[in-house]
Structure formats: structure tokens, C-alpha cells
Structure 1
């Protein structure tokens, strides 16, 4: 009996691979957080593992989108891992055939599967061509409808959600600094490492800017300029510039120098190509990458996903997200002084402009309920 591979929803073993890819990314990131700086040294194998995390993420997306290029990409990267790993062990004198086969077993399985699988050939059929991008552009343009309530409702949801997700993204970025992969200053006492639901509203504003400014710009560039490379590059440069301006504006408002000359929130004065210590080239590149990912992939994908739900369902989601965000914002970012309350032993001190509440005696736990603090 011949199997039918025409149903593109049935990924078969590729679904298992997607689960393995996502699990590897999540588990590796989680384990990295618990490493203590100075207790380890990064070697070639670690950098190869980091490259494989990127490979896992790209492979997951390519399979999800049923892209034909997924086969070639996974085959090429599997060969790369096998060859580079073998050459590295040969060069260091640690090569052993059995050990090398065991260590490369997953790549060997990927290589054999994507070379021989009829399902992969039948399901991974979507083109990665410019024509497909042109077709997708028509859908993207339709997502931008500022005269509708649904458009602004979704923007508010994105602001609330990405204010918290941005906190997690910054933690991941600072983790790279912590490992010495990126230059910068790692501060273990930073608000980043506590109160994981603390909203970093600058990222919420960044998400809004992506939707209102950078997404239409991306559509305009795609419409006016043929090809993919030029619109993508110009979009990246614009994204980096706009996001850097947002960080600069927030810095000039909230990150003013203290009497001793230090900047309370962030200080890039030791970083290459910085301006007033508020922005630097390294962060501009990082912002450009994230904003480009947001405008080209994440936002259209979210709009397509949310569009599957009814208007009433999305309105309920909006209410839940908005109220939940307000609770987080007032718990973590706003502390209203009440007469007599500030003198009680368990009371909260007013939050500083940075959103990092501190007392004269040192840092306190501000994740407690506001009601508990008032009751003392």
C-alpha cells in the first residue's frame, strides 16, 4: 500500500524534529543562565553548539513554513557539523571513529532522512523565491488598517506583551555578555535577574514603533524595489536607526547622570561608537536585528494567527491582557506614597525613575502584594 504524502499538514518525523529543535533551544538557554561567570571557559565545541542553536531555530521555521530550501539547508549544515567536527578532532589529536560517529549521530540521522525521505520532498514545496515574497506582500499590506478597532486593539496587546517579553530578551542578551560572548558590563544585581514579569516598557514602545512605522516602511521598500536583498538591508538600517532613537529618547528622559557622574540605568561610555553613554553601535545592530525579525516575520505571523479568532474572543483577550499588564505595571513600576505608610517596617519605598525600587538600607523584595505592604 502506497503512502499518501500529499497532505502538507502531516509532517511525520519532521514534527518530531521540530520538537527536538525547540527543546534543545529552550533547555540550552535555561542551563546557560545558571552558569557562573569565571567558572568556565568557552572552547571551539561550545561555539559550534551556539551555531547549532541558530541552526535549530532556522530549521524549525523553514519546516514550519514548508520551505523547499529546508532540505538543502539541513543537509548542508549536517555535513558542516560532521566535517568540521571531524577535522577539529583530527587537528587536536583526539579523533576516534566510534566516538566521532556517536557524537555526530544526530547529524547523520538528519542527513540520511532529508536525503531519502519522500515525505520531506512532498511536503517541503513552498518556494523561497521573490515571487512568493511578492504574493506575501499583498497579505502584509492588508494587515495595516489603522481605521479599524482591531488594528489598535492588537497594538495595545503587543505593547503589553512585548513589554514583558522584552525583559526576557534583554536577559538573554545580558547572558551573552555574562558568558563573554559579547562585550559589555554584566551586573548580577540588576533588575533584569529578578521579578521576571517586570515590564520594560521601552520594548513595548519598540513593538508599537515596528507596527506603526517600520512595518509600513518594509512594505513600501518591497513594493518599490525589486529583489529581496536591497529592501531587507534598507529595512534593517531604518529599523536600527529608529530603535536607537527610541533608546536615546528614553535615556535622555530617564537615565540622567547622578551627582557622582554615573548613569543609573545603563552606561555605554566604555563601548565602541557610543553617544553620551546612552546608545552604542553594538546595541543598534542588535535592535536592528530584532526589529527586522519583528517587522518581516513576527508581526505578520501574529496577525495571521490572531486573525483566526473571532472578534469577541480577541476582545476578551484584550481585556485580560490590558488588566493583567496594569496590575504588573502598578505593582512593579508605580509606588504611590500614602501618609504614614512609608514609615511602616513593611512598606514600599517609591520607585526610582529606572523602575528599580531601592531603599536606603539596600534592595528589598518588591514582588509582594501592594495590599501586604500597606497593611505592614
Structure 2
């Protein structure tokens, strides 16, 4: 009886081990699909909500300022939802990988084979997570960029603004390998928020002059003066990824962002917020920070071209607004941004 019991227990353990191996990649891939679904649902909801706000604006039920404020609130709400919901799925994936880091898991299913090894000296849990998605044809990414802005007039930089004029951008993107058996061409597309700051030189501030937006003397010493406008855009790039393919037995894999990359494309979107921020010291020696939200005639819509070149996750990044920043100024001023871009898998 003890012998039979021993073999029964051993058989159950073996079956449990095989079952775990058979379901590990399915569970991991399911979590990855859930993350992509969450992001898509939030993007679709944001698009519907923005369209509803535009309808209210067209019917004159709300003002332009109210519409801009609503759009910004909606964009922030959806960004917070993505962050919260994805964090839950990420924790599930962390727990799944941690359950297996002390052994070896292999799976051969539908022509795919996954092998996971964990070495406490050379590999972290995040590296193990990354291994799960390393060879998927479409992968989701987080994008962050930062750099400087320059307003351009007929190809020349406007000298009325400081080089401290800056921008930063963050968002989500998807990277899809275009060719089934070649890693060179990728389609990259997503959703981003672009924060642009313009800092006038010489103690000047932005002011409305009828339908125009001009610079005027502030009448006092200014510590900081900047106009910030935020664009919600849909970027799309054709990316050339020069990472080499990997061969493991009879299988060929195409890892991304393991070498030099080049992306060319553009973006289209809408302005969701604009405000002027001024810092100065008043006559009593108090530090004052004044924020003025409103309509500074920044164009409601934006479109432009962009490109990046880099190695692995880091790139040099440039974008140029083909649409002038201000809608009614006599001279067209287009924004040129130069900076560094990070694409995190």
C-alpha cells in the first residue's frame, strides 16, 4: 500500500508540474493581451469623450476655454486609468514569474518554445518578464522624450525666445514587425501628450492683441515667464530596426531594440490646454507665481513630422510642427523640438 501511495503521489506531482509548464506561457500571454486591451479601451473611450465635447462646442453649449479644460481633464483621467489598471496586471505577471524563478520551465505549443532560467546574480525578475514578450510580433511600449523648443520663422530661429524653452512628451506606443521573416521594417504608432513651453526673452510676456498673440513688456523684472500648451497627438513612424535575428535550433526569433534604430514619420492631434505662468518678486519682496489659463490663439489642431535615431532604448529625437503655433498671427511661427527619446518595452 505504501508503495502504491508513493507512486500515486509521484504521478500527481509529475502531472502538476507538466500542467504548470503547459499553462505558464498561456497565462503570461493572456496578461499581456489584457494590458493591450486596457490601453485600447481607454484610448477609444477618450476619443469618444473628446468627440462629445467637440459636439457641445459646435452647438455653443460650452465655450472654447471650457472645452479645452474638459479635454484636459478627460485625457488625465484616461491616463490615470491606464496606469492603475496596468499596474494590477503587471503585479499578476510579477507574481507569475516569481513562482518560477527557482527552476526551469519549458513549453512547446503551437510551434513556440519558451525557456526561462533565473540566476539571482545576473538576472532580475523584470528581465525574466521581458523574456516572455521579447519575440512577440507586436509589443506595447512606454515613450518619454525631453528636449528644447525653438520657434522658426521662414527657416530661422526666432531670437525673441530663450534656449531654455523646452518640451517633454510621454505616451504609449505599439511596435509591429511588418514582414513576417525579416526584422528591418516596423510600424510604430500610439498616443502621446506633448507639453511645449515657450519662454520669452527680456522680461516680456504673452498678450492678446485682438485676434493676434504678441509679446509685451511686463513692466517689471520677471524671474520666469512661459507659455505652456499641451497637445494630444497620434504619432506614427516607420521604424528601421537593425537588430540581428536569433536562431535557436529550427526556430528564428526577431528581437527588437537590441541595436541601432531609425524612425521617420509624423503626428496629428489637437490642443487640449494652454496657460501662461509668470514668476516675479513684488514690491514687498514676496515671491509671486501667477498662472493664467485661457485662449492665447494657439491652433486647435496640430500636425507635423518627426524622426529619431538611436541605439537600443535611447534615441536622438526631432519633431517639427507644420501647423503654426498661433492661428492668427501675421507671421507664421512653427515649433521645432530637439531632444532625447526613451522607448521602454
Which interval holds the TM-score relative to the shorter structure? under 0.3
Q: TM-score, normalised by structure 1?
A: 0.25
Higher strand share: 2
Higher helix share: 1
Q: Larger Rg: 1 or 2?
A: 2
